[in-house]
Amino acid sequence: MPARPIASGNVSFGLVSIPVKLFSTSENSTGVRFNWLDAKHGVRLKQQYISTKDERVVPREERIKGYEFAKGQYVTFTDEELKELSEKASPTIEISEFIPLSEIDPLYYQKAYFLGPDSGAEKAYTLLAQAMRKTDRCAVARYAARGKMYIVLLRPVGPGIVMQQLSYNDEIRKFEEVPLGEEVKTKKGELDLAVQLIEQIASDKFDADDYEDEVRARIRQAIQQKVDGEEVTTTIEEQPKAQIVDLMEALKASLGVDVEKIGPRAVASASKPSSRKPPRRSPRTTAKNTRARKRVAAK
């Protein structure tokens, strides 16, 4: 079934304007959603807002929005005031600049939308996608919707263009805020073995079909069992407890190297990349191998 557009607009830069349609990139029907129920009567619950002053249920017409500028102190805004401050929606996706895709850290990525050409815009749309692909550049643009001004990224994906919403810089925390502990110096042998371990299970391409949401599948199976009046039965493999082991020994065990006979030459040999590409492994198989290596390392 063809996808249905959720909005329309036009990509604009210079004197060029390309009518486009926006499509959702995700399939909402695949998610599993639960509702809160009254355990006694089995009916859905309604959310209510309770005043912390007199424990009174406050109806919608008596609510106002406020911003807490100090502990327990608020400035309030009416819906009309907030509406005046909101950005007016515009169908224009206005490109500001074209930059190399590598310059955008995926840390900034938020929700994505497929862009498709509107009727009669197929040639201009295809030309823009091909030009970005040929120059290895993407477009940074502004897009106003739902009362907000968004910064978005237009990038060629497959035969078309994806519009990726980006975070503003002040919305991203700095890595300097993350405690990394004392500075650690690695040894060359450790690094060589770590590189070899990575190369053993490396792939040149990411295939999303290799991965599935096992938790969601388990929940769906349990739901069906309950619908059918059956007893819910699940078998979840217990994860081994993490243990702190000697890094060098763990790397050797992971590579299947004899920890007693290993020497500098063996380390150098192990660090050489293999010309043969390893067979593709499923996530389940890889996880089992990893757990087996951990058990070996812990002995």
Confidence (pTM) = 0.66
The 10s digit of each residue's pLDDT in 62-109 is 999 999 999 989 999 988 898 888 888 888 999 999 999 889 999 999
22/114 same-domain check = yes
11/159 same-domain check = yes
CA distance 126 to 255: 48
CA distance 176 to 173: 9
Asked if residue 18 is part of any domain, the answer here is: yes
Which amino acid, one-letter code, is at 53?
Answer: K
Residue 281 has, within 13 A of its CA and on its CB side, a CA count of 14
18/163 same-domain check = yes
* CA dihedral sign of residues 288, 215, 165, 20: positive
Asked if residue 66 is part of any domain, the answer here is: no
Average predicted confidence (pLDDT) for the chain: 82
Asked if residue 291 is part of any domain, the answer here is: yes
Asked if residue 32 is part of any domain, the answer here is: no
Asked if residue 290 is part of any domain, the answer here is: yes
164/229 same-domain check = no
Q: Which residue has the higher pLDDT, 32 or 280?
A: 32
164/238 same-domain check = no
Asked if residue 76 is part of any domain, the answer here is: no
**Which residues form the domain of 120?**
7-26+86-171
99/12 same-domain check = yes
CA distance 164 to 217: 28
The 10s digit of each residue's pLDDT in 231-273 is 877 666 666 665 545 666 776 777 666 544 444 444 445 445 4
Q: For the chain, what is the domain count?
A: 2
291/218 same-domain check = yes
139/192 same-domain check = no
189: β partners: none
Asked if residue 107 is part of any domain, the answer here is: yes
Q: Look at residue 236 in the predicted model and tell me its pLDDT.
A: 63
Reported as type and span, the H/E element at residue 188 is helix 188-200
Asked if residue 161 is part of any domain, the answer here is: yes
167/242 same-domain check = no
